[in-house]
Amino acid sequence: MLASTVITMQDNSAHGEDSFLTKDFGNGEFLDVVLDGVTGHGGEQASTELRDALDSGDLNNAEDIVNLLGDINEDFFSVGSGRFLLTTVSAVLGRGDNVQIVSSGDSPVFLINKEGHQKLSGNAGGFLHVGVARAIGASEKLGAPAQVEMTPSVGDRLLLCTDGITDNMTIEELAEVVRNASTPEQASADIEATIKERLTEGRVPETIGVRFRYDDRTGIIRFF
C-alpha cells in the first residue's frame, strides 16, 4: 500500500448524528469510514453503534465489511422495524496494494487526481429519495452494498463525506479544492471556509438548490 496522509473534519452541531472512524493498521494499510445517521430515526445511536462495531471488527477485505453490515442491519431492524436505528455508511479499506470501498446509503466517496474526479460510490444529495431505502436498519435483509476496488497511484486523493458537505458545495467545487491543495489539512480548511461563508450568506450555487442546508457535516480526506 502506498504511503498516505489523512485528515478528518466534522461539525456535528446541527443534529449530532454523523460519526466517523479512521484507523491506521501500519505498513500504509488503513480504514476510513463516514456514517450519517437519519435525523429523527435514532440516527445518532445507529451511526455510533455501527462505527464502534467497525472499529472492533476483524476486517481484512470487503467481504468482512459486508458481513458485518449485514449482521448489524439485522440487529437494528429487529429493534427499529425499519423506522428507527437508521444510518448510512461508506467504508474505505486499504489492504495490500488495493483499496476496497463498501457503501450503503448516500454518503459518497470520490477519487480525485490531476486527470479529473470520479464518484466511486454513494449518491451525493437526495438522501430522502435514495439514502433511506438503502440505509443500514431500513429493511429486514440488507440489500447488496455498493462495492468498488481500485489500486491507488501516487497523487490520487480520496474524499469521503456526508451530505452536510455535498448539499452545500458542488462535486466540481470539492474536486477543485482537493486537487489544488498541497496537504489534506489545506483541503479541509478551504472546504470549511467555503461552507461557513455560505452559511453566513444562506445561499449555495443554483445547481444544488440555492438555499443553504444546515446539517451535520463530516469528511475524511486522504492523499496518496
Query: pLDDT tens, 45-87?
Result: 999 999 999 999 999 999 999 999 999 999 999 999 999 999 9
Q: For 32-44, what is the mean pLDDT?
A: 96
pLDDT, residue 121, reads 87
Does 196 score more than 50 pLDDT? yes
pLDDT, residue 128, reads 40
Q: What would the grid cell of residue 53 be? A: 462495531
The CATH number for 5-223, chosen from 3.60.40.10, 3.50.50.60, 3.40.50.2300, 3.40.50.410, is 3.60.40.10
The predicted-structure confidence for 124-169, as pLDDT tens digits, reads as follows 444 343 445 589 999 999 999 999 999 999 999 999 999 999 999 9
Does 170 score more than 50 pLDDT? yes
Q: For 205-216, what is the mean pLDDT?
A: 93
Within 10 angstroms of residue 153's Cβ, the number of other Cβ atoms is 10
Do residues 32 and 110 make contact, with C-beta atoms less than 8 angstroms apart? no
Strands 217-223 and 5-11: antiparallel
C-alpha span between 95 and 109 (Å, rounded)? 17
Question: CB-based contacts of 1: which residues, under 8 Å, 6+ apart?
Answer: 27, 28, 29, 30, 94, 95, 96, 97, 152
Within 10 angstroms of residue 53's Cβ, the number of other Cβ atoms is 14
Q: For 7-25, what is the mean pLDDT?
A: 97
Within 10 angstroms of residue 196's Cβ, the number of other Cβ atoms is 12
> Any idea what the Cα angle at residue 40 is, between residues 35 and 41, rounded to 5°?
65
pLDDT, residue 132, reads 57
Q: For 177-181, what is the mean pLDDT?
A: 98
What is the pLDDT of the chain when averaged over all its residues? 94
pTM of the model: 0.94
Ramachandran category for residue 151: left, alpha or beta (phi over 0 → left; psi -120 to 50 → alpha): beta
Q: For 34-38, what is the mean pLDDT?
A: 97
Q: For 172-189, what is the mean pLDDT?
A: 98
C-alpha span between 79 and 202 (Å, rounded)? 38
Give exposure, 82-119, as e/b (b: 16+ Cβ within 10 Å): bebbbbbbbbbbbbeeebbbbbbbbbbbbbbbeeebeb
C-alpha span between 77 and 6 (Å, rounded)? 33
C-alpha span between 39 and 10 (Å, rounded)? 17
3-state secondary structure of 1: coil
Q: Please name the residue that has the C-alpha cell 501500519.
A: 26
